[in-house]
Amino acid sequence: MDIQFTEEQELLRSSVQRLLRDQYDFDARRKIVASEEGWSRKHWSSFAELGLLAAPFSEEVGGLGGGPLATMIMMQEFGRHLLVEPFFETVVLAGGLIEDIGSATQQATYLPDIMSGEKVWALAWSEGRSRYDLGHVSTTARREGGSYVLSGTKAAVVAAPWADSLIVSARTSGERRDRNGVSLFVVDRHSPNLHLQGFRTIDGRRAAEVALMNVSVPASQMLGREGEGVAALEACRDRAIGALCAETVGAIGELNAATLEYSKTRKQFGATLGSFQVLQHRMVDMFIAHQEALSLMQHLNLSLASNEAGRSRLASGAKSKIGYAAKFVADQAVQLHGGMGMTDELNVGHYFKRISSINIQFGDPAFHVLRYAQLDAAA
Amino acid sequence: MELVLSPEETAFRDEVRAFIAENYPAEMCVPNPETDLTKEQMLLWHRILHKKGWIAPLWPKEYGGPGWSITKRFIFEQETTRAGTLPPLAFSVTMVGPVIYTFGNEAQKKRFLPRILSGEDWWCQGYSEPGSGSDLASVRTKAVREGDHYIVNGHKTWTTLAQHADWIFCLVRTDTSAKPQSGISFLLIDMKSPGVTVRPIITIDGSHEVNDVFLENVRVPVANLIGEENKGWTYAKFLLGNERTSMAGIGRSTRYLERLKKIVKAEIPEDDPAHLEFVRDIARIELDVLALEATELRIVAQMARGIDPGPAASLFKIRGTEIFQDITELTHRAIGNYGLAIREHPVSANHFMPGPDYGHTASEKYLNSRKLSIYGGSNEIQRNIIAKAVLGL
């Protein structure tokens, strides 16, 4: 199994590669991260102009019809360049949800602004005690006339400080950990009674804790059916994992290349590091980890693209296996670079941090290996 | 697990425990003492220990040590680390001090030792260079004799807390024609000398612990040479042995494990499948600690009977650092989504950190602890030492 990419897909890859090579080297990224806002609207506009923000969406909703494979191709390149702009949050998470469960009106209202780069979105699902359980929701939404009133606190919402709109999960019925009774709402980030407390993430992004203190949302902004939000979030998570695995593979590839290069030039005891057998074997294991991760990433995204029945279980399997592989590679890349790997100056530590962060987002490798096993038992 | 203590040793342990409880400065109890304290704050406990006569357990009595037995020294180390007190600056007390009283001349002993004990002089270590990490004997910083001075030129790196230092002890090359190990000298350099520049290196956790130190035509009096010219490698190896003995870090690991247990209890409900997994992982690490502690106690007991521990320090370094990395990693995992957040440096109350207090330093500790398997002789080098010196390979 190896994907034979179409001409269109190759074109997408090479145009993303060219753009990032020209405009998003490590120094450019460093400046973006250090800037007041922490991301680049200028680059965001370039992504929109190139059609990247429209690429995965189906043609029916005005996209380019690239699907999960287009996302995979782009995310892999974003991983190589440690891109901080909220493509994942806006296009993959929010855009994917709107395309999947939004009404025709909602799709027509929200998606054009996403594809044109006008609006940035974030997904607020996690809470203080939720860990990786999508159904663990204490935030409530109570019906009042033509509106819902949302109350509760959402934790660690990545890209929230940049976002115009949020998709918020809130309970319309049931108990805190019930699978049923969770609904999704589109909430204007600047709504009255919505408060953000921003902070930096380990991988150089911005996130926020979002406090909703009786935020009124028109009933028309409920996304999908009332009480069925968890199923929608699960499908969203599958797509998210497909994207994050691709980003991880991009990062692993760069770490391996950098480590190999370093081991061929760095000399100690009169010999290159690469001549020491113990390090050779280590790098062979890193190579194997990359190969396996790459294969599994393709396998998963093909499965997502064709809506295969087992895709959700496979997503958990891939998140776990690729997560562990990435952790191994990142640990060893830092170790083999010695003190340099610990510095803020070198890119290696930044890949390490991005991988550490991906290994938290939507569930760590241990969480997903268990889910993989449990779904098998259920089948 | 405890050593079998005599009544006198038990009384000593209780005395140390009580002294810490009564005297450890509240001001030093901050979220991350390694990054959040000013130089003055770091020295508070140092000065208290100095006043008590406990600042340098390793030192012989004639130079200001307390004259403790190996067992008592071990008890002191155990009690202070378990309590989480900030250890006195190792570069001063554990490293350069013993080199000076072992290999230095009378004038050097008189001049430097009292100021190390009192905390008046802060020392940093000029060992590593950009081209000399694991292969320390390849140092290129050059010292050329000119009358009563050496003229020193070179670039030292990974110099911990050089931003606070009054003095730096350096490995310098005094004979470029000899074999790498034979042309090195051990030189003490005043950080205020013209030509010394310190440049911060920011690490992946965002903190400023290490530095580059540039030496440009720095004039160093010949009186600051330790021992004989070109014999520096012997002194350097002696010092590195001291650096590694405390690396088992049992007290610290035990303390962090206790903290981790509390976090898991608070964060992960018992009916969450992750709970059992954390319980199992913590138990596994606890057994790692137990086995290392048992090894340490066995070796301490042997040392008390006069048996040379050999390269046991390498074993402690490897396992101690691996265990601590496992603990910080598991702690970072335990706080779930909050693990995405990291404190900004320099630390300020104006920056918001989400989640419970106990999780606020988890990310930075996890990132920072990656250095442990690299510094002080990488774990690969430690394994080489054991392979060669113990296994005879």
CB contact set of B24 (below 8 Å; sequence gap of 6+): B45, B48, B83, B85
| CB proximity B338 to A under 8 Å | yes
For chain A, domain boundaries: 7-119, 122-226, 231-378
Query: Averaged over A209-220, what is the pLDDT?
Result: 98
| Cis preceding linkage at B346, omega within 30 | yes
Q: What is the pLDDT of residues A311-336, one digit of tens each?
A: 999 999 999 999 999 999 999 999 99
Its CATH class, for the domain covering A231-378, is mainly alpha
B363 interaction partners in chain A (CB closer than 8 Å): 202
Q: What b/e string do you get for B182-217 counting C-beta neighbours within 10 Å, with b at 16 or more?
A: ebbbbbbbbbebeebebeebebbbbbebbbbbbbee
Ramachandran angles phi, psi of B121, nearest 5°: -105, 130
Q: Which of A331, A329, A332, A316 is nearest to A364 (CA)?
A: A316
Task: Please report the pLDDT score of residue A156 as a whole number.
Answer: 95
| CB proximity B87 to A under 8 Å | no
| CB proximity A341 to B under 8 Å | yes
Tell me the C-alpha distance between A34 and A26, whole Å.
12
CA distances from A347 to A82, A180, A195, A203, A266 (A): 9, 44, 34, 11, 17
Residue A66 above 70 pLDDT? yes
Q: Which of B77, B243, B267, B293 is catalytic?
A: B243
Tell me the C-alpha distance between A23 and A32, whole Å.
11
Residue whose token pair is 């002080």: B376
| CB proximity A177 to B under 8 Å | no
User: Which chain B residue is nearest to residue A157, measuring alpha carbons?
Assistant: B337
| CB proximity A350 to B under 8 Å | yes
| CB proximity A27 to B under 8 Å | no
B204 to A331: CB separation less than 8 angstroms, yes or no: no
Task: Please report the pLDDT score of residue B304 as a whole number.
Answer: 80
Residues A139 and A153 sit within 8 Å (Cβ to Cβ)? yes
Its CATH class, for the domain covering A122-226, is mainly beta
B128 to A342: CB separation less than 8 angstroms, yes or no: no
| CB proximity A357 to B under 8 Å | yes
B364 is catalytic: no
Helix (H, G, I), strand (E, B), or coil: what is residue B85? coil
Q: Which of A252, A254, A353 is nearest to B368 (CA)?
A: A353
A206 interaction partners in chain B (CB closer than 8 Å): none
A339 to B210: CB separation less than 8 angstroms, yes or no: yes
Question: What's the mean per-residue pLDDT of chain A?
Answer: 97
Task: Report pTM.
Answer: 0.96
Query: Averaged over A247-270, what is the pLDDT?
Result: 97
Residue A142 above 80 pLDDT? yes
Residue whose token pair is 């393709």: A298
Q: How far off is chain B from A202, nearest CA to CA, in Å?
A: 5
Mutate to test the interface with B, among A202, A237, A262, A281 (most CBs of B within 10 A): A202
CA distances from B229 to A85, A374, B140 (A): 57, 68, 16
Q: How far off is chain B from A182, nearest CA to CA, in Å?
A: 20
Tell me the C-alpha distance between B290 and B233, whole Å.
35
Task: Please report the pLDDT score of residue B347 as a whole number.
Answer: 82
B340 to A343: CB separation less than 8 angstroms, yes or no: no
- Residue B89 gets the label, from left (phi > 0), alpha (psi -120 to 50) or beta, of beta
Per-residue pLDDT tens listing for chain B (393 residues): 566 789 999 999 999 999 999 999 999 999 999 999 999 999 999 999 999 999 999 899 999 999 999 889 989 998 999 999 999 999 999 999 999 999 999 999 999 999 999 999 999 999 999 999 889 999 999 999 999 999 999 999 999 999 999 999 999 999 999 898 899 999 999 999 999 999 999 999 999 999 999 999 999 999 999 999 999 999 998 887 665 556 789 999 999 999 999 999 999 999 888 999 999 999 999 999 999 999 988 988 888 888 888 888 899 999 999 999 999 999 999 999 999 999 998 888 788 999 999 999 999 999 999 999 999 889 999 999 999 999 999
HEC string of chain A equals CCCCCCHHHHHHHHHHHHHHHHHCCHHHHHHHHHCCCCCCHHHHHHHHHCCCCCCCCCHHHCCCCCHHHHHHHHHHHHHHHCCCCCHHHHHHHHHHHHHHHCCHHHHHHHHHHHHCCCCCEEEECCCCCCCCCCCCCCCEEEEECCEEEEEEEEEEEECHHHCCEEEEEEECCCCCCCCCCEEEEEEECCCCCEEEEEEEECCCCEEEEEEEEEEEEEHHHEECCCCEHHHHHHHHHHHHHHHHHHHHHHHHHHHHHHHHHHHHHCEECCEEHHHCHHHHHHHHHHHHHHHHHHHHHHHHHHHHHCCCCCHHHHHHHHHHHHHHHHHHHHHHHHHHHHHHHHECCCHHHHHHHHHHHHCCCCCCHHHHHHHHHHHHHHC
Q: What topology does CATH give the domain A7-119?
A: Butyryl-Coa Dehydrogenase, subunit A; domain 1 (1.10.540)
Task: Please report the pLDDT score of residue B2 as a whole number.
Answer: 62
Q: How far off is chain A from B374, nearest CA to CA, in Å?
A: 6
A364 interaction partners in chain B (CB closer than 8 Å): 333
Residue A153 above 90 pLDDT? yes
- Note which residues in 237-266 of chain A have CB less than 8 A from chain B: none
Q: How far off is chain B from A259, nearest CA to CA, in Å?
A: 15
Q: Counting one residue from A and one from B, how many pairs have CB atoms under 8 Å apart? A: 126
| CB proximity A89 to B under 8 Å | no
- Note which residues in 354-373 of chain B have CB less than 8 A from chain A: 354-355, 363, 366-367, 370-371, 373
- Note which residues in 302-331 of chain A have CB less than 8 A from chain B: 331
Tell me the C-alpha distance between A12 and A16, whole Å.
6
Residues A264 and A336 sit within 8 Å (Cβ to Cβ)? no
B341 to A201: CB separation less than 8 angstroms, yes or no: yes
